[in-house]
């Protein structure tokens, strides 16, 4: 168990990177607090796995340092870092039994045989494979194999961190939920630092204390699920988290007034003159469809998803989504929308801009 510090870290897969675009992972400074569970969330190819492999030592960064509890481990081998990592696709040692598979990391570290026996039994129970411990791993199904991989990741108690690289992709939905719960309880029990890579927001939000959102090789926001929802620091976070994602509307902002295609609305804060690409972001949950005052929209269709309704509409030609309560009546004369002013965020060049209280 350790605090992991990334200091000026960056990685490029090609030698001699010149511009920022050459980096798969852009310069990054971050502390992963000891004993916390993080989810690393982002779309495919945004650098999540690269970051994970750098932490575990499978990949050496082009620049910067990695510290475990303030020890520089940038050039340490994977073995020296004592890290457990589970990969997206199951890796099992085909010729070994399930038991030997689980015992393998312990044996390699020269653990005591009686301890190995007891620990393997315990892990076997945790992953629900107690009955299959003496079967050979070869003939098992993909999700059984992945459970073995997970078990092998969890078998060592003294690891500095547990890294998961989209480990539940091949597992069926019911088992997914169960294993995620197991991982959480394991985290509570042993307090390992855990980093869980995923592109599934539900998975990220249910697993982690803190969610790290990555976009295009950069960490764009680190926060609790609630922070990500209420104050996305980057339009990507707004778009990626939430279903549907945040509405981003081009606007002109001066003082505490926003001007959207000639219609104006009042913002909770005041802004100095903004230059660049200015947009306002409002989550669909904070948009109300009304028959009264507001911005004019054309409703295209209404989707009833059970818990609520999603209204797909157009605002001056731009798509806009509104979440309406399941019980709310939607009538044809509702052609205007209003925003909950407390939840309107202003973005300049995709980044959140803090205003001053008006």
Partner 1 sequence: MEKTVNQKAWFLILPVLLLVAFSAVIPLMTVVNYSVQDTFGKNEFFWVGLEWFEEMLGSDRMWDALGRQIMFSAIILTIQIPLGIFVALNMPKSGFWSSFCLVMMSLPLLIPWNVVGTIWQIFGRVDIGLLGYTLDALGISYNYTQNSFAAWATIIVMDVWHWTSLVALLAFAGLKSIPDAYYQAAKIDQASRWAIFRYIELPKMMGVLMIAILLRFMDSFMIYTEPFVVTGGGPGNSTTLLSIDLVKMALGQFDLGPAAAFSIMYYLVILLISWVFYTVMSNLDNKGA
- The verdict on 182 binding partner 1 (CB under 8 A) reads no
- 3-state secondary structure (DSSP) of residue 343: helix
Could you tell me if 85 and 77 are in contact, meaning their C-beta atoms sit under 8 angstroms apart? Answer: no
> Which range touches partner 1 (CB under 8 A), out of 77-85, 270-278, 289-297, 310-318?
77-85
**Tokens matching residue 142:** 């993909």
| Per-position x/- string for 95-134, each x denoting binding to partner 1 as judged by CB under 8 A, each - no binding | xxx------xx--xx-------------------------
Of 200, 165, 167, 201, the C-alpha closest to 182 is 167
Rounded Cα gap, residues 6 and 50, in angstroms: 13
Residue from 3, 30, 65, 136 touching partner 1 (CB under 8 A): that is 136
Contact 243, 307 (CB under 8 A): no
If one asks whether residue 170 binds partner 1 (CB under 8 A), the answer comes out as: no
| Cα–Cα distance measured from residue 306 to residue 325, given in angstroms and rounded to the nearest whole number | 10
Cα–Cα–Cα angle for 55, 83, 183, rounded to 5 degrees? 105
Sign of the C-alpha dihedral, residues 69, 167, 96, 128? positive
Judged by CB under 8 A, which of 3, 135, 210, 231 binds partner 1? Answer: 135
Stretch that binds partner 1, among 26-34, 146-154, 200-208, 338-346 (CB under 8 A): 146-154
Is residue 79 a contact point for partner 1 (CB under 8 A)? Answer: yes
Comparing CB distances to partner 1, the nearer of 57 and 244 is 57
Please check whether residue 7 is in contact with residue 65, taking contact to mean a CB–CB distance below 8 angstroms: yes
Q: Report the distance separating Cα 219 and Cα 46, nearest Å.
A: 9
**Considering the rule CB under 8 A, would residue 83 count as an interface residue with partner 1?**
yes
Give the number of other CB atoms < 10 A from CB of residue 237.
28
Minimum CB distance to partner 1, residue 311 (Å):
44
Does residue 56 bind partner 1 (CB under 8 A)? Answer: yes
87 or 286: CB nearest partner 1: 87
**Alpha carbons 263 and 320: distance in angstroms, whole number:** 16
The answer to the question of residue 94 lying near partner 1 (CB under 8 A) is yes
What's the sign of the alpha-carbon dihedral 78, 79, 80, 85? positive
- C-beta closer to partner 1: residue 146 or 321: 146
Q: Measured from the CB of residue 35, what is the shortest distance to partner 1 in angstroms?
A: 20
Residues 228-267 binding partner 1 (CB under 8 A) are none
Backbone angles phi, psi at 261, to 5 degrees: 45, 45
**Nearest distance, CB of residue 119 and partner 1, angstroms:** 14
Q: Is 78 one of the binding residues for partner 1 (CB under 8 A)?
A: yes
Binding residue count for partner 1, defined by CB under 8 A: 30
Bridge partners of residue 281, in order along the sequence: 248, 345
DSSP state of 97: B
Verify binding: residue 75, partner 1, rule CB under 8 A: no
- Stretch in the footprint of partner 1 (CB under 8 A) among 11-19, 52-60, 113-121, 243-251: 52-60
Q: Is 304 in the site for partner 1 (CB under 8 A)?
A: no
Give contact residues for partner 1 (rule: CB under 8 A): 53, 56-58, 77-79, 83-85, 87-89, 91, 93-97, 104-105, 108-109, 135-136, 138-139, 149, 152-153
């Amino acid at each position: 168990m350790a605090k992991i510090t990334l200091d000026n870290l960056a990685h490029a897969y090609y030698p001699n990177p010149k511009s920022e675009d050459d980096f798969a992972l852009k310069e990054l400074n971050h502390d992963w607090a000891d004993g916390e569970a993080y989810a690393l969330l982002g779309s495919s190819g945004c650098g999540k796995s690269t970051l994970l492999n750098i932490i575990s030592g499978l990949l050496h960064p082009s620049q910067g340092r990695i510290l475990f509890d303030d020890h520089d481990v940038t050039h340490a081998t994977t073995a020296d870092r004592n890290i457990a990592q589970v990969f997206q696709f199951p890796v099992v040692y085909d010729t070994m039994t399930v038991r030997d598979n689980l015992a393998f990391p312990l044996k390699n570290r020269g653990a005591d045989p009686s301890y190995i026996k007891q620990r393997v039994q315990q892990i076997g129970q945790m992953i629900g494979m107690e009955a299959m411990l003496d079967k050979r791993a070869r003939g098992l199904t993909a999700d059984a194999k992945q459970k073995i991989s997970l078990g092998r990741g969890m078998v060592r108690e003294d690891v500095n961190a547990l890294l998961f690289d989209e480990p539940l992709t091949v597992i069926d939905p019911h088992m997914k939920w169960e294993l995620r719960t197991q991982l959480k309880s394991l985290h509570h029990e042993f307090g390992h630092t855990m980093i869980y890579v995923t592109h599934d927001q539900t998975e990220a939000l249910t697993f982690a204390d803190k969610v790290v959102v990555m976009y295009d090789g950069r960490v764009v926001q680190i926060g609790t699920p609630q922070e990500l929802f209420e104050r996305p620091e980057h339009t990507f976070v707004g778009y990626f988290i939430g279903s549907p994602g945040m509405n981003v509307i081009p606007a002109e902002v001066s003082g505490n007034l926003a001007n959207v295609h000639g219609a104006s609305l009042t913002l909770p804060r005041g802004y100095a003159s903004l230059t660049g690409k200015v947009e306002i972001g409002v989550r669909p949950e904070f948009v109300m469809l009304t028959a009264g005052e507001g911005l004019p929209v054309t409703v295209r269709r209404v989707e009833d998803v059970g818990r609520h309704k999603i209204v797909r509409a157009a605002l001056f030609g731009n798509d806009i989504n509104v979440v309406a309560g399941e019980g709310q009546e939607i009538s044809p004369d509702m052609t205007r929308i209003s925003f909950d002013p407390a939840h309107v965020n202003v973005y300049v060049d995709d980044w959140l801009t803090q205003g001053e209280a008006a």
